[in-house]
Chains A and B, each alone.
Chain A
């Protein structure tokens, strides 16, 4: 009796002392939260690839919900009309090559600019580094849209022979492969992710001990040799990291290939997946593709962790490096500067201008019809859209949705940013604990689940009686967004926490400063910029997100849903205008945050 009593006391004491350490509580809590919010969708996704759905009963010949390998067999091996080759293997190959080229463009372009900005005497660095990240802040489809607006011409049937900017300015007509299909898809993704490469590689170059290069200079190595033998190997981890992350993002990118495939020549796995999801009798196969993409991403991220983990010591930041001797570009200085500037402006500023312009043309494509009509009219332009269809500035539906989007994005940023910090804290404090490792790995999983299926799982959750209060509510969007955008926030949170030595916190711990005060008064102020960046990235992503919310958002509830409503109903001036507004808001928020706190998205991505 006494023995068991003592045991009970011990267990109670153990639990109490375990719970007295915030890092333990956070780990257990977030482990549980993530199991529920991440593993559940993941398992349900996996299950969906192996069961019969309502539309498939006839083809499979089994009752709904029964286990089946039919989806896998059909998609991967069915030879009827070359089905599996056409719907799976060839799109997979397409996606693969597209992703590889996108990586090359991103790393080549972004890496080159990173090198020029950190290692050469190129002029206008500040301006360049500011605008160069724009394409990453903008939604990827806006670059695709701009690409089409720019290159379409009277010789291409698929774009209805409309005259684009290039033709109207210079008379040059590019061939169709430049406008639609493999090439533009890869280019647009490459340009979209080039800032990402720039930020990662630039970060390493900036922190790299200049002594390493100087030591080689002293040994009379040529500039080129230094670049090849010293600099490149040192930035290799960042390079590989960029390649892998860009690769996994591109391979599952939907919007760009969906937009730039008007001539139907370039099906990818992601567009195929969407079409399979949309077909009652083939939904299971859509889930098979989702699983395949997931496996791809997991493999890629494991490789990424291996590479960066092993070579991290290579990139140690000494913080001592004083003067970096900048490469003198000599006569090439101005021409190079102009070239990079022009390219950057072209992809950073011109799309913005083009959206603004498109919203001002009463007749699309006809620049003689400039007017503010679609911004200011009080006419009802189209009664098929939800809510009001008046001009943008007078349209209560648009402004309400914009406001709601801002609220949702702020809330999402708050949730995923704060969760990211807490997860980062626990992961850094409990390094080596298996539970903590699982927790931080799980926090990255939402990144791997296709947005649409993520949304679908939460739709079904919202129909569970216990969660019916979530149904159609803004709160549901906040929850889903908060989880979906957790990965980058938790990454930046963990990075920031790892950089603060544990002793800084312990110094406050031993004198009895409570945990929350240590967070608020010590850790947060020290890593303010990094943490706020952890809030910024989810905000930006959430403002422009559609696929994640399309099944969950009530009509007219958020701005991207409204945008889509105008788009499908043919009011492209208004959809372009809304697009312009979204990008401006995102840029403004990023700019203001940067000015006030020094935070910027580059700090959020860091490493």
Chain B
């Protein structure tokens, strides 16, 4: 039911534009992550939707009601937006026990004592923090505090839940654990989640849709795999994926509407487009995910620069002329430094970006290697 619509939302701090003319629609029961490097405006966007920050311009609708409209001068307070908010550093009230922290919001909604008690205990059971009922936040570990914060946020059953990098203060192991619990919670609570993170892995793992931002401007708003497979520009392609995509400069010549001759890595290769292409291709950046580089086969060659095994897979960096090419190999291998290495570029997910604008021009496969 609550569909969130942002229309031309802009936020300026003095002269600095934090969010620039952002429009997007968040469907009911989506799990949206706002992703981007720090300072890209993702937290500001979240806080604007929640009502904690006032946009400079634009219009925000939650469900049927306009909660903000700069033209009409409407600005509904967060309290009336029926939302939950999970803060980066939990913002637990240090002078209240775990129980009181969870119950305080409910008291405020004029729930009866019995109902509050039941709900608080349900929440504590759900998040496995019953044994901490009487403790103060300072007596809990980071992960336990996080659970209390989640319980507190979920207790009033908000229809929309906003989370601002809620896992960033946890250690790596705990973070993974909480990640899966959050995803499970999304299913269980049947509500819309909007989640801010700068961790692209987290975004990929959790979201039904990723909203990637840079310098206040929306870059791509799509499901995670689409963002991964078909990044709309060099920034998105570079930001998503680990190890990052190979970007190789090339100059091209159109052979036919769906075939391009490319001069790259010292070779002439042919690019077969998935769809007809009609633009100038003289200045091109070719984007190749490391998993599309196969080692010890094919006609291309380079020398091993460094090998980084991580157990399940190994990242191998090759030096090809002046360029560096990264490949990922399944399993653990160890190549000695500086040895010659042949490789090929496979798969149909090779991307062509315009060298000037950085925008995606085409997708296809390379032949001739």
Give residues in A with beta carbon < 8 Å to B. Answer: 9-17, 20-21, 432, 501, 503-504, 506-513, 517, 521-522, 525-526
Contacts and interface: CB of A to CB of B under 8 A. Distances in A.
A303 B74 CA distance: 42
Contacts of A13: 72-75
Q: Which of A10, A17, A432 has the most CB of B within 10 A?
A: A17
A511 B152 CA distance: 10
Contact of B50 (A12, A21, A510): A510
A419 to B, nearest CB: 24
Contact of A14 (B73, B78, B84, B156): B73
Nearest to A16: B73
Given A9-B73, A10-B72, A503-B87, A510 B52 contact: yes
B337 to A, nearest CB: 37
A11 B87 contact: no
B18 to A, nearest CB: 13
A17 B76 CA distance: 7
A512 B108 contact: yes
A27 B94 CA distance: 27
B109 interface: yes
B89 A17 contact: no
Contacts of A509: 52, 77-79
B308 interface: no
Given A501-B91, A504-B91, A526-B95, A17 B105 contact: no
B250 to A, nearest CB: 47
Contact of B105 (A14, A21, A501, A511): A511
A517 B73 contact: no
Nearest to B82: A512
A522 B95 CA distance: 8
B73 A511 contact: no
The 4 A-B pairs at the shortest CB distance, nearest first, are namely A13-B73, A17-B75, A512-B79, A511-B105
B89 A513 contact: no
A511 B52 contact: no
Nearest to B75: A17
Contacts of A9: 72-73
A507 B162 CA distance: 11
Contacts of A15: 73
B52 A506 contact: yes
B64 interface: no
A74 to B, nearest CB: 47
A11 B95 contact: no
B132 interface: no
A506 B85 contact: yes
Given A432-B13, A509-B79, A525-B95, A501 B89 contact: yes
A361 B78 CA distance: 69
B83 interface: yes
Contacts of B108: 511-513, 517
16 contacts: A9-B73, A10-B71, A11-B73, A13-B75, A16-B73, A17-B74, A17-B75, A21-B77, A503-B91, A506-B52, A506-B85, A506-B91, A507-B87, A509-B78, A510-B78, A526-B94
Given A509-B77, A510-B85, A511-B79, 19 more contacts: A10-B73, A13-B72, A13-B74, A14-B73, A20-B77, A432-B13, A501-B91, A503-B88, A506-B52, A506-B91, A507-B91, A509-B78, A510-B51, A510-B52, A511-B104, A511-B108, A513-B108, A521-B104, A526-B94
B80 interface: yes
B108 to A, nearest CB: 5
A48 B306 CA distance: 80
A302 B338 CA distance: 63
Nearest to A507: B91
Q: Which of B80, B88, B93, B109 has the most CB of A within 10 A?
A: B93
B177 interface: no
B85 A20 contact: no
A506 B75 CA distance: 16
B92 to A, nearest CB: 8
A274 B81 CA distance: 61
Contacts of B91: 501, 503-504, 506-507
Q: Which of B80, B88, B89, B105 has the most CB of A within 10 A?
A: B105
Nearest to B107: A513
Contacts of A21: 77
A425 B80 CA distance: 23
Contact of B73 (A17, A503, A526): A17
A506 B73 CA distance: 22
A368 to B, nearest CB: 58
A511 B108 CA distance: 8
Interface in B271-317: none
A576 B345 CA distance: 97
B188 interface: no
Looking at chain B's contact residues, is the secondary structure mostly helix, strand, loop, or mixed? loop
B14 interface: yes
Interface in B48-102: 50-52, 54, 71-75, 77-81, 83-85, 87-89, 91-95
A12 B72 CA distance: 9
A509 B84 CA distance: 10
A510 B78 CA distance: 5
B74 A512 contact: no
A339 B144 CA distance: 51
Given A510-B83, A526-B95, A503 B109 contact: no
B93 A522 contact: yes
Nearest to A13: B73
Contacts of A11: 73
A12 B73 contact: yes
A44 B85 CA distance: 50
Interface string B117-137: 000000000000000000000
Contacts of B74: 13, 17
B54 to A, nearest CB: 8
A14 B94 CA distance: 35
Q: Which of B51, B88, B95 has the most CB of A within 10 A?
A: B95
Interface string B245-257: 0000000000000
A513 B109 CA distance: 9
Contacts of A501: 89, 91
B14 A432 contact: yes
A382 B87 CA distance: 70
A11 B70 CA distance: 10
A14 B75 CA distance: 8
Nearest to A528: B95
Given A17-B74, A513-B104, A517-B108, A507 B85 contact: yes
B94 to A, nearest CB: 6
B79 A510 contact: yes
Nearest to A521: B104
B71 to A, nearest CB: 7
A16 B75 CA distance: 9
Contacts of B84: 510-511
A512 B80 CA distance: 7
A522 B96 CA distance: 9
Q: Which of A15, A521, A526 has the most CB of B within 10 A?
A: A521
B105 A513 contact: yes
B113 to A, nearest CB: 17
Nearest to B79: A512
Contacts of B93: 504, 507-508, 522, 526
A14 B105 CA distance: 28
A21 B79 CA distance: 12
B341 to A, nearest CB: 46
A503 B86 CA distance: 10
Q: Which of B71, B80, B87 has the most CB of A within 10 A?
A: B87
A500 to B, nearest CB: 10
Contacts of B83: 510
Contacts of A526: 93-95
Contacts of A14: 73
A525 B101 CA distance: 14
Contacts of B105: 508, 511-513
Nearest to B101: A507
A526 B138 CA distance: 13
Interface in B125-160: 152, 156
